Structure 1
Amino acid sequence: MAAVPLHYVDLRTFCYATEDEKRVEEALRTYLPEGFEIERAETEGYHGDRILVLSARVENADGIRHVLEQLRGSADLEQVRGQLDDRVTENCELFLYLDKQAAFGGEARLGEGITLRAKVEAYPAKKDTAIENVREVL
């Protein structure tokens, strides 16, 4: 795959007070290239508990290819291909929700815990064009 039809990929997860921060970071790193920096932002939950937001934006082509390679290992990709109309927005963004627990074990699977948002290149910038570009890349 020479060209990558994505402008960037954002990955984000939350680390709640009951979770081990290192394990949550390791789960997020399952999708990231080696040595990639993760941003941290601390916030507070409804009952005053600490929530750490871990996020990363991958913008270079090699990094995006790495993220896509991790996703290609998922058995859920056929399901994703069948749901592209629901997963791609009118703003040409692809959304996937990934299983944080499976990611900690090194496995890419749909689920809850990690949000992947990718801005899809589409000229003209229309949902149908974006869907076709995502279908090619997956």
Structure 2
Amino acid sequence: MINNIKLSAICHATEDEDKVLEAISYFIPEDVDPDKVEIEVVETEGYFRNPIKLINVTVEGKEAKKVFEHIMNLIKSNEKNVEKLKKDLNLRIEDNKFFVRFDKQKAYLKECKVMDGDDVVRVVFNFKIFSPKNKEEKVRKIIEENLFS
């Protein structure tokens, strides 16, 4: 079902990298094997030449399934999240991927808030779908079964 999950966030020069990592880790349950979690930090420059870090976390295989279920439960814990995703679900699915952004500040405070914007933890769910036809429809069905039923 789920192939991998990629979580990412930007850490601005004014932010504490450990706190950004903590915001990302909110979406990874404690029972996930840390050896199966890949963390990459890329140092780069922002638009105004300010230093920023791109923090990318990837979880694959069985551990990704745990993360998927955990995030689905976090989303369902707030009815506004579910309503927002239900309203614009089609915009969040492309090919075999499902895209969601969460408020980074709220995640640091252990709250789940789906939002659009820039100061976010981006999550990309990549599903194993072998049929070349109707990939998006199959992803939609998986999300609907896990969030709306």
Question: What TM-score, normalized to structure 1?
Answer: 0.83
| Aligned mates of 2:90, 2:10 — CA distance in 1 | 27
The CA deviation string for residues 73-110 of structure 1, in whole angstroms up to 9 with x for no partner, is 23311220232111111x12111111111101101111
Instruction: State how 1:46-65 maps to structure 2 within 5 Å.
Output: 46-59=47-60, 60=62, 61-65=65-69
Aligned residues: 133
The one of 8, 26, 30 aligned to 2:4:
8
Write 1 or 2 for the structure with the bigger share of helix: 2
The CA deviation at 1:6 is: 2.0
| Aligned mates of 1:122, 1:81 — CA distance in 2 | 22
- The answer on whether the counterparts of 1:12 and 1:115 sit within 8 Å (CA) in structure 2 is yes
Query: Unaligned stretches of 5+ in structure 2?
Result: none
Q: Which moved more, 1:7-16 or 1:57-66?
A: 57-66
Question: What TM-score, normalized to structure 2?
Answer: 0.78
The CA deviation at 1:123 is: 5.1
The one of 69, 85, 88 aligned to 1:83:
88
Residue in 2 that maps onto 1:24: 20
Identity percentage of aligned residues:
26
Root-mean-square deviation (Å): 1.9
Instruction: State how 1:50-129 maps to structure 2 within 5 Å.
Output: 50-59=51-60, 60=62, 61-75=65-79, 76-89=81-94, 91-111=95-115, 112=117, 113-122=120-129, 124-125=131-132, 126=134, 127-129=136-138
1:135 aligns with 2:144: yes
